[in-house]
């Protein structure tokens, strides 16, 4: 192993220590998420309640996203992650105390989900913006493949494990597990430094001691608006989240009302999804996708839409077919989302990543709350399968149409080797190759 390889190997060690702690924390978080959603399902049996719970979890990202990203780029990212994780742990302790006193109510669960979503937004933005400073550029795609595989493994384990724990522990016991796993995420951050980006002067901030929060926020929004191809992808993600996110939020109601199942059957579906994500992530890491990565992503979008449509068409007596459909959806998700992550981390300058990531996430998720607010009452009135059919069909159409939009297909062209993206000329907006820049995050947060 030469000196360069040794340096790269050593540079990955701090990241993987933090990443391992985060993995344990994510497991605890998913156990609690499963337990609370199932508690709401059993307590109310209402699609509106479940949709509201998902809405509460999305609103902080949509409303506060750009501001969160701006603050993350101004603050120490390591301290930001420590404080955010600590706030979440304290909120879990409070809810556990309410369950222990048998005083927990639905609005308490909503409040916890709001706090977790708000603090989690700070953590996610800080961690995402730090990866490119901790991981060599040539390994970013491998890290994203690893993240996709981890997510799939957590989906496999968390649902059946959550159902098992609900059978042997009171709710406060399940919540206590999340507090314990959160310590694995917090403690390494006290000892491992997280690199801070160097701020660069812009025409608007040159000569000033420190730009205001508003100047930083405006700069981030302009950065996002600079590429027509990116804006089209954001619009697509907005529409897909409008119609597809509610379907996944209402999965527990589909299990109970349509398939006549319980927590175990819900666990089967979510585990099948997780197995699919693992297989898709492994396939992507081995195959690498098409040379033009956007084609891989659009193929995944179309495939995911077909799987969701099949799930909506499945008869109530064919739970096995539903499990297969969820497996296929999971398989397509890494192909849809994975290629989008590494490119933006490699392309966007580090000091802008907090703002860019949070702004994109806010824009792409802006329609999810609207979809959730509509989906609950409509599902209660017309049946929960409606949203699986609508969401799957629209996703397929959006993916197919995108193959014929030049600004989308050529979004990876003319990437700057300097690690930043060149401004778009007026000619680019008319369909010529656009600078390489992808929408960060996911087409859908299923």
What span, in angstroms and rounded, lies between the C-alpha atoms of 413 and 434? 6
Better-scored residue on pLDDT, 62 or 32 = 32
Higher pLDDT, 342 or 290: 290
pLDDT in tens, 213-267: 676 667 766 766 776 776 777 778 778 878 887 788 788 889 988 998 887 888 8
pLDDT confidence of residue 327: 94
Q: How many domains does the chain have?
A: 1
Among candidate residues 268, 244, 242, the one with its CA nearest the CA of residue 255: 268
| Interatomic CA distance for residues 84 and 346, integer angstroms | 26
Is residue 28 included in any domain, yes or no? yes
Q: So what's the pLDDT on residue 419?
A: 38
Residue 413 lies in a domain: yes
3-state SS class at 197: coil
Between the alpha carbon of residue 407 and those of residues 229, 417, 432, 433, the distances in Å are: 5, 20, 7, 7
- Please check whether residue 446 lies inside any domain of the structure: no
What's the rounded Cα separation, in Å, for the pair 71 and 357?
12
Q: Is residue 421 included in any domain, yes or no? A: yes
Give the contacts of 67 (CB within 8 A, at least 6 positions apart): 213, 217
Domain containing 338 equals 8-190+213-429
Name the least confident of 314-328, 338-352, 387-401: 338-352
Contacts of 100 (CB under 8 A, 6+ apart): 170, 172
Within a domain: 103: yes
Of 103-107, 345-349, 393-397, the range with the highest mean pLDDT is 393-397
Residues 285-321 have pLDDT tens digits of 778 778 777 888 899 999 999 999 999 999 999 999 9
Domain contains 435: no
* Residues 337 and 442 sit within 8 Å (Cβ to Cβ): yes
Q: Round the average pLDDT of the chain to a whole number and report it.
A: 77
Q: Which is more confidently placed, 6 or 257? A: 257
Q: Cβ contacts of residue 71 below 8 Å, gap of 6+?
A: 80, 122, 213, 354
CATH number at residue 24: 1.20.1250.20
């Amino acid at each position: 192993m030469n000196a360069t390889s040794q340096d790269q190997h050593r540079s990955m060690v701090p990241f993987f220590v933090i990443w391992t702690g985060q993995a344990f924390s994510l497991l605890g978080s998913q156990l609690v998420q499963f337990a609370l959603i199932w508690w709401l399902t059993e307590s109310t049996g209402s699609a509106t309640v479940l949709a509201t719970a998902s809405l509460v979890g999305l609103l902080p990202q949509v409303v506060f996203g750009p501001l969160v990203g701006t603050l993350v780029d101004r603050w120490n990212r390591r301290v930001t992650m420590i404080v955010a994780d600590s706030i979440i742990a304290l909120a879990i302790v409070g809810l556990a105390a309410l369950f222990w006193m048998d005083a927990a109510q639905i609005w308490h669960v909503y409040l916890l989900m709001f706090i977790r979503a708000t603090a989690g937004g700070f953590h996610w933005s800080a961690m995402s913006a730090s990866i490119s400073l901790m991981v060599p550029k040539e390994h970013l795609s491998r890290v994203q493949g690893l993240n996709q595989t981890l997510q799939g493994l957590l989906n496999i384990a968390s649902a059946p494990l959550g159902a098992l724990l609900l059978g042997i522990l009171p709710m406060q016991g399940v919540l206590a597990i999340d507090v314990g796993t959160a310590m694995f995420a917090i403690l390494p951050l006290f000892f491992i430094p997280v690199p801070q980006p160097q701020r660069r002067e812009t025409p608007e901030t040159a000569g000033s001691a420190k730009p205001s929060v508003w100047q930083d926020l405006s700069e981030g929004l302009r950065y996002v608006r600079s590429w027509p191809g990116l804006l089209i992808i954001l619009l697509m993600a907005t529409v897909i989240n409008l119609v597809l996110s509610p379907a996944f939020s209402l999965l527990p109601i589909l299990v109970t009302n349509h398939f006549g199942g319980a927590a175990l059957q819900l666990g089967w579906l979510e585990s099948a999804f997780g197995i699919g994500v693992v297989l898709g992530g492994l396939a992507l890491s081995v195959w690498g996708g098409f040379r033009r990565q956007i084609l891989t992503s659009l193929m995944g979008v179309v495939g995911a839409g077909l799987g969701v449509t099949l799930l909506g068409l499945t008869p109530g007596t064919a739970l096995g077919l539903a499990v297969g459909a969820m497996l296929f959806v999971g398989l397509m998700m890494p192909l849809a989302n994975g290629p989008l992550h590494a490119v933006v981390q490699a392309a966007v300058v580090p000091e802008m990543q907090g703002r860019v990531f949070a702004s994109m996430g806010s824009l792409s998720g802006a329609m999810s709350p609207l979809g959730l607010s509509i989906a609950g009452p409509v599902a209660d009135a017309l049946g929960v399968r409606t949203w699986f059919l609508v969401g799957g069909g629209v996703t397929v159409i959006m993916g197919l149409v995108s193959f014929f939009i030049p600004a989308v297909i050529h979004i990876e062209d003319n990437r700057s080797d300097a690690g930043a993206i060149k401004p778009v000329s007026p000619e680019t907006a008319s369909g010529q190759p656009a600078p390489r820049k992808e929408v960060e995050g996911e087409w859908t947060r299923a």
